[in-house]
A and B are shown apart, each in its own frame.
Chain A
């Protein structure tokens, strides 16, 4: 009996070590990076659905002094390799379905890991929805109070879950099976997401269907703009206060903080109008400007925190979507109404980072409204 129990115990330990070691080496979430073999585990298609886990570990490994914050629009369009950055390395910390509180937490978390010098925050209207549903993956304990006891406990939990779970084992096998498929969503080393998944989708169904799919999802499935409120009537507080907190922190830490409003396609703006939130959208912009203007007035000799609005109707954002019977036509500027391409993102960064790229002139229509006062529209 004792011999059996001893062998049983040793077997449990051995198999746990073998399975855990397998997960560690295959590393489906791209967080350990111990061994990478071409064709076996260099691509991490699984990491896209666990981006918060993947990117927080990447922040610690890369220790960036430049940061991009925002949603999936930011991680598809804004390039950390853009020559306009005044610091290096830069990491794209864009996350799907993020909200403004999470962006603020990430700013603080990144600063705790390594002092930041320059940060571009790509704001989206949906970031500010009151009581926005938080994805299960977005546990704030992962990015709060870096190095503290609660953070260490959560880190331990992350390590256990990514090494010693059946889920991780399945995802390791899936990682091996899905190498070089060509259409997976892949997070690059700098935090951007490669365009291959969108290119495949466009090649498969064409731009128009992707535009329609995105618009339908926003309106009917995700219902992002349904019951949209910025202000909590119970206590009078607004979600925009998080922007004020970001500005306070940036000023305290001497961070060059720049805000943009994403250059979504005009059809996406029409989705806002259709959802009945256009008035709130305008109010949101006014309040953003008011917060930054109030801060600038309080610190006349301090640095400015500019806000650039690219969400207007212009020749870039109003580009005609190819007809349904022209699926072979390609847009250089948008994948669908919500996501702009890196080409547009480069122009945005040219403007925001005051960079002049040789051979790339920014169309006047995408010049962006540089909003430093209340002249929000048509400045």
Chain B
């Protein structure tokens, strides 16, 4: 930041250099073929140019012969091999970038026109800024209050749309201490280009100090617990309704067949649209909390419910999306960006 000229972005996250190496490989291929075509075209255009002193001799069509077919096969198969390698290499980097480790610190992000609100798991809130500890995996859980935004950090080589009505997530390990750009990358109206902010990557010690120096609201988990009592959730969700203990990450059977994994999006939907998915064996009596609870409050509740899962179950034994966990210490892929993770251990 505050440079007068820059040609390449900073490499500030664990993920950055693998994207850059991949780009370098593609750049090499691009340069090779661009130069190859340019040299051939220019050479042929000059070597075989029309000249007054050269009489026209009809040239047969070479492409019908054996040579022609061999050439066609060659320039079909070689590009096919190259793009296959590109796909596999790109997929490898991508799949890793989609699988947060279980111990990632969770930070909440809310986009609204035209500002970013972030909240650390300790409760500290920021606007258009995010302080991060270097070397600690961080997972952002993001939602928009209005239109689609996108939380992009070029120095981390990461971005993900922030969509209204559902959580999306991205994760990274910041590595290099410094200040980096945060951009809204999805057009969101008049002040789209003002929906920017700064990412501060700090040494873990400095980060802890920074957190201590900023007054914190209740951590989301605690705020959620209060809301759970305040809005009377607790009266039903211990007797007439499914209990919340150990719910997060479990597969829930639904009325009318089928089942759903109780992830962040399911919990949010059940609070705002309780009748969308009815748990088998329970009457559909829950009222909707649309208009009563803000997205922030719902995030708090989801966080509280998550903590209940962590409290009653060994996190490594959680039934995970796509089947039970058999290899506890491996990040497990799931459909979509949401892989149930352990309740945040964070940095408190």
Partners in one complex: no
Binding site for A on B (CB under 8 A): none
